Chains A and B, each alone.
Chain A
Amino acid sequence: MKKSVFAAVSAIAVTCAMPAMAEPQAEVLHWWTSGGEAKSVAVLQKEFADNGGTWTDMPVAGGGGDAAMTALRARVLSGNAPTAVQLKGPAIQEWYEEGVLADISAVAEAEGWADVLPASIAGHMKCEGTWCAAPVNVHRVDWIWANADVLEANGIAMPTTWDEFNAAADKLAAAGITPLAHGGQAWQDATVFEAVALGILGADGFKKAFVDLDMDTLKSDKMVAVFDQMRKMRGYVDDNFSGRDWNLATAMVMNGEAAFQIMGDWAKGEFLAAGKAPGEDFLCASVPGDGFLYNVDSFAMFNVDGDDKKAGQDLLSKLIVGQNFQKVFNLNKGSIPARVDVALDDFDSCAHLSAKDMSESSDNGSLLPSYAHGMALRGAQSGAITDVVTAHFNSDMSSADAVNQLADAVANSM
């Protein structure tokens, strides 16, 4: 009896499957679980369902993705990888080298990704020439946010060089305002550090130091200057910064306790959520120096068995890079679309600036991956650099010592 029911069901399944394609299935592992992020994922989920797919959600919150990575490791080791996983930067290639990523070149070529994605971002999505991941958005990391009223009251313009920044900060400190809102967590220290490094080393120097790990650049006098500026930045932070979350630092700028914050464009979401208007209540500008540090979220596609799952992968990849999703998702998330041909009419002025700078820097080669957010280096190397940066920022280590430790730590992490 049981057997015949099973046979009947499978017969139906076969006949149904025969004429049409296999029904797309996707199990998606991600850690977008907080309010705005969850909303953004729901957009993708709905679009996937509208196109006839079945979405199995696998959100794993916690630890900025650490918990999700642990879950992923367990799934891959047990030979049951999810269809698509939120992964970014060199971690994609790291997983590829473990031999578990799928090839989605067919979709990428059919959709012409190479023409619509900036070259350096497209590079992150490829594994030895084949496409293996789909980009979702572009966060700019090297933003400086400011409270417009505080700047106006103290007669300060948005700084365009680090000297100007220091002068402005000294003036603000004399007026009793915390110049820089900052949270003493290692990744925030690293975020400020890379913004300073981009300004002082320049785009070429930044690339040599934090993408190529060139020892001469890491030990250069300019790197000493970067740490000197970091020491100054430490002086512009209030005493109570240790362990503060980034959004609390953003709140300090919002209510005028502090003037500036150096943080990626997720900070914009905090300003907007509090009903502040860009250009009026708060100002956004790139940090002093030329270049654009990006943090691109993406979905990597894993090797799976079964036509339905492969169809799900193809559909998902197509939708993720599709114009509609790129627009709706990024309006929710505060970032800008990864593809350059999306109309930006509904986006705010900061996003317009970001998009303009992205295409300009892409043309002149200063569109660079953020080291602090795991886009430029693998975990072991970027972690080693962050250890030195945060140790220097939180102690009275000299810049020369910091540079020596930096070189040693990078060499030791290989």
Chain B
Amino acid sequence: MTEWLERHIPKMVLAPSFIAILVFVYGFIAWTAWVSLTRSRLLPKYEIEGIIQYERLFASPRFDTAMMNLFIFGTLFIIISMVLGLLIAILLDQKIRTEGVLRTIYLYPMALSMIVTGTAWKWIMNPGLGIEKMVRDWGFENFSFDWVIDPDMAIYAVVIAGVWQASGFVMALFLAGLRSVDGEIIKAAQVDGIPSWRIYSAIIIPSMAPIFLSAFIVLAHLAIKSFDLVIALTGGGPGYATDLPATYMYAMAFSRGDIGQAASSAMVMMAVVFAIIVPYLYSELRVKHD
């Protein structure tokens, strides 16, 4: 009896959460996939009509803009956050005196919600209130910084706010990585008279590959599901110039009563996430088999 319990208790304990995930994650993914193949409008309908919603989706210039924005925002957000984060981490790694305080300052933006970040940056970048007005008041009448209201540049304004929020967190990840490198190897390199930039580029950074991967995965999913930042910063505007797939999906599902479109855009978003996550899982699992 006790043996039977020992064998089965772990399964019984795990079963509720397993069932919950099966239903509420995978079940609803399947539901969304189903609905994306129907002509659902205000309420979901279940008669399958084929890929009409996907045809509409890819014919929509607004969704084109949203995907393009995701690409621009995602790429710049991930690259700049990583580069900045690594740079700050290396600088903080120089055994400076006030590291504890500085680290907290850099990490602090992560404690704010994206809504706060977005609202604050909306005011900072507003030409009539923020940086542009301040510099002009200093006497530089021709200074212009109006990205947030320029449809071609507004998505870069979103990148600025996103990077400000996330780079401190990336710094913390990298700092932990830098500290975990074996001190003996570094000392040996120093004894050999190797300059410190070479120590970083040839020894420390290559040995941090797993950290890069984790940072990339965290930033990538932040970028893809980005919603609150855009809503607070630009509201998707000017026009729909800063729409992302997530805001597109929200608009279709909740303001336009077009659930079919919302479901199909959600499926496309999921495909993008899979395109990133699957290679990651693959590499993780492969390492374990070695």
Contacts and interface: CB of A to CB of B under 8 A. Distances in A.
Assign chain B's interface to a size class: 20 to 34
B280 interface: no
Nearest to B254: A66
Interface in A93-107: 94-95, 98
Which residue, of A64, A242, A379, A395, has the highest number of chain B Cβ atoms within 10 A?
A242
A394 B60 contact: no
Contacts of A73: 42-43
A63 B146 CA distance: 27
A380 B237 contact: no
Nearest to B128: A240
A94 B61 contact: no
Contact of B239 (A95, A186, A378, A383): A186
B126 interface: yes
Interface string B218-246: 00000000000000001101111100000
Contacts of B60: 409, 412
A94 B151 contact: no
Interface string B245-256: 000000100111
A76 B203 CA distance: 62
A38 B30 CA distance: 42
A186 B235 CA distance: 10
Interface string B40-82: 0111000000000000100111100000000000000000000
A64 B148 CA distance: 24
Contact of A383 (B41, B146, B234, B255): B255
Contacts of B256: 379-380, 383
A379 B258 CA distance: 8
A239 B240 contact: no
Contacts of A392: 239
Contacts of B148: 242
A393 B239 contact: yes
Contact of A186 (B61, B237, B254): B237
Contacts of A241: 149
B127 A378 contact: no
Contact of B255 (A66, A189, A242): A66
B146 to A, nearest CB: 7
Interface string A69-113: 110010011000000000000010011001000000000000000
Contacts of A91: 42, 257
A387 interface: yes
A302 B65 CA distance: 39
Nearest to B144: A239
A383 B254 CA distance: 12
Contacts of A380: 41, 256-258, 261
B240 A184 contact: no
A239 B257 contact: no
B42 A243 contact: no
Given A240-B128, A242-B238, A409-B61, A379 B149 contact: no
A184 B237 contact: yes
Contacts of A349: none
A388 to B, nearest CB: 8
Contacts of B128: 239-240
Given A240-B126, A243-B122, A380-B41, A184 B254 contact: no
Interface string A335-376: 000000000000000000000000000000000000000000
Given A76-B43, A184-B149, A379-B255, A387 B62 contact: yes
Nearest to B58: A412
Which residue, of A69, A94, A394, has the highest number of chain B Cβ atoms within 10 A?
A394
Interface in B131-154: 146, 148-149, 151-152
B121 to A, nearest CB: 13
B241 A243 contact: no
A237 to B, nearest CB: 11
B167 to A, nearest CB: 26
A391 interface: yes
Nearest to A91: B257
A412 B149 contact: no
Nearest to B259: A73
Contacts of A63: 254-255
A392 B149 CA distance: 14
A408 interface: yes
A379 B257 contact: yes
Contacts of B251: 383
B238 A240 contact: no
B61 A405 contact: yes
Given A63-B255, A240-B126, A379-B257, 5 more contacts: A66-B255, A186-B240, A243-B237, A379-B256, A380-B41
Pairs A-B, 10 closest by C-beta atoms: A394-B239, A242-B149, A240-B128, A394-B238, A379-B256, A379-B257, A390-B239, A383-B256, A391-B239, A380-B258
Interface of A: 63-64, 66, 69-70, 73, 76-77, 91, 94-95, 98, 184-186, 189, 239-243, 378-380, 383, 387, 390-395, 405, 408-409, 412-413
5 contacts: A240-B128, A242-B148, A242-B238, A243-B234, A394-B239
Interface of B: 41-43, 56, 59-62, 122, 126-128, 146, 148-149, 151-152, 234-235, 237-241, 251, 254-258, 261
